[in-house]
Structure 1
Amino acid sequence: MQIYYCENITSLKAVLSKIESEHCIKVLRHQIGDELNLMDGKGSFYKGILTKIDKKECIVEITETNTSENNHPRVHIAIAPTKNISRFEWFLEKATEIGVTEITPIICQRSERDKLKNERLEKIIISALKQSKNPFKPILNELIKLKEFIALDSKNSKFIAYCDGENQHLINQYKKGTDMTVLIGPEGD
């Protein structure tokens, strides 16, 4: 079942983006009158009928809405992007699939990457969202320095992935049902 992503869906209609429209018309060759499945990344799935085809956009008349509640604890992962960007992209894909709520790329002392192409990363997240049928799109924050991230006030339980020191299992430290932030440093730390 093909799902189209559209952020701006009203109770009556959805307007697909240029990229989603091209995929709908040119790749999957949908025609006016075809039934489409859509998601908004905010917890809702929709069914609708394709009513207008244009080079830049498709309009879908909404016929059915299913909304999911997000009752799970929030999981925020702060991670230093790797030198090999494909590994970070893989992480984004998997984090989206398992339902991570928020992702913050961080710059650490030994980080080798201080710039990211957020537009490309958003496309990867949306693709993983559609493939996994996860109703909630994670928030992808801007790249931030570690000190700035630590200064942010958060009431979440905080955990740091650290190789040295006392070996503690996360399962023994986590309080069930609470929001959490997990910090994962760069390669070599």
Structure 2
Amino acid sequence: MQLFYTPDITDSPIYYLSEEESKHCIRVLRLELADHVQLIDGRGGLYEAEIVDAHPKKVALKLLTRELEYAKRNHYLHIAVAPTKNIERLEWFLEKATEIGIDEITLINCQRSERKEAKAERLNKIITAAIKQSLKAYHPKLNDITPLQKLIAQPFDGQKFIAHCEPGDKQDLSKTLKPNSRYLILIGPEGDFTPKEIEDALQNGFEPITLGNSRLRTETAALEACFEINFLNR
């Protein structure tokens, strides 16, 4: 069954696809009158609907069923990651993390960051495609690039971690993680966080963690953290 992302859906019994989605529905997917489709609103709602008007510019759908909090997870994951110099690596992370399960992403500007800007519109499109691919009813929130110092000073109700490669005592996530909770994980740029950035994070309540013995690329480390959090909360 074909799936559409419909963030503006309401309780109205009839919903109209946008012109772009209508064209895709009728011209590309070749769907017809009385065909059934699925809709996700990005807020936890999963709907089944029937095409009642197959107009290529304004498809009308009759809502048949609605399931709220579809596949809601038992934890909240926020990963703050320095955007990679090669934007395709960041896009890969966003796609795969969305498929695995993530709630919020913040792009952080660190002292050693290789990229200072990223096109949020394109990145959000990648996230949207990934939720449709993996049938996720929740659309992860993507925040603008934020200075690291500003982020670590903000209050966060949950566990806060920083993954870095500097020497020192660091815990495995499996040994320090509190299940069914909220988590914020910092992942630095290819050159890692500076010692001062690490110290500032520790002073603001972040716990130092290790993601294994291998030296990982930024996007790999971020995805590894995403996987571990989801795995440990199963």
Which stretch of structure 1 is more off in the superposition, 159-168 or 97-106?
A: 159-168
Is residue 2:87 matched to residue 1:73? no
**Pairwise mapping of residues 1-189 of structure 1 onto structure 2 (< 5 A)?**
1-11=1-11, 12-54=13-55, 56-67=57-68, 68=70, 70-165=72-167, 166-189=169-192
CA deviation after TM superposition for structure 1 residue 76, in Å: 0.4
CA deviation after TM superposition for structure 1 residue 53, in Å: 4.2
Q: Which runs of 5+ in 1 are unaligned?
A: none
* Aligned length in residues: 189
Q: Which runs of 5+ in 2 are unaligned?
A: 193-234
- Quote the Cα distance in structure 2 between the aligned partners of 1:62 and 1:23: 19
SS at structure 2 position matched to 1:95: helix
- Quote the Cα distance in structure 2 between the aligned partners of 1:130 and 1:110: 34
SS at structure 1 position matched to 2:96: helix
> For residues 22-71 of structure 1, what are the alpha-carbon distances to aligned partners after superposition, in whole Å with 9 as ceiling and x for unaligned?
22122101223321111111112111112234454322110111222635
| TM-score, with length taken from structure 2 | 0.75
| TM-score, with length taken from structure 1 | 0.92
> For residues 109-145 of structure 1, what are the alpha-carbon distances to aligned partners after superposition, in whole Å with 9 as ceiling and x for unaligned?
1112111111111110111001111221111111111
- Quote the Cα distance in structure 1 between the aligned partners of 2:139 and 2:61: 21
Q: Any conservation in 1 of the 2:158–2:181 contact (CA below 8 Å)? A: yes
The letter for the 2-side match of 1:131 is Q
Q: Any conservation in 2 of the 1:74–1:179 contact (CA below 8 Å)? A: yes
Compare the two structures and name the one with the higher helix fraction: 2
- Quote the Cα distance in structure 1 between the aligned partners of 2:130 and 2:174: 27
- Quote the Cα distance in structure 2 between the aligned partners of 1:152 and 1:54: 48
- Quote the Cα distance in structure 2 between the aligned partners of 1:7 and 1:56: 18
SS at structure 2 position matched to 1:177: coil
**Aligned-pair Cα RMSD in Å:** 1.6
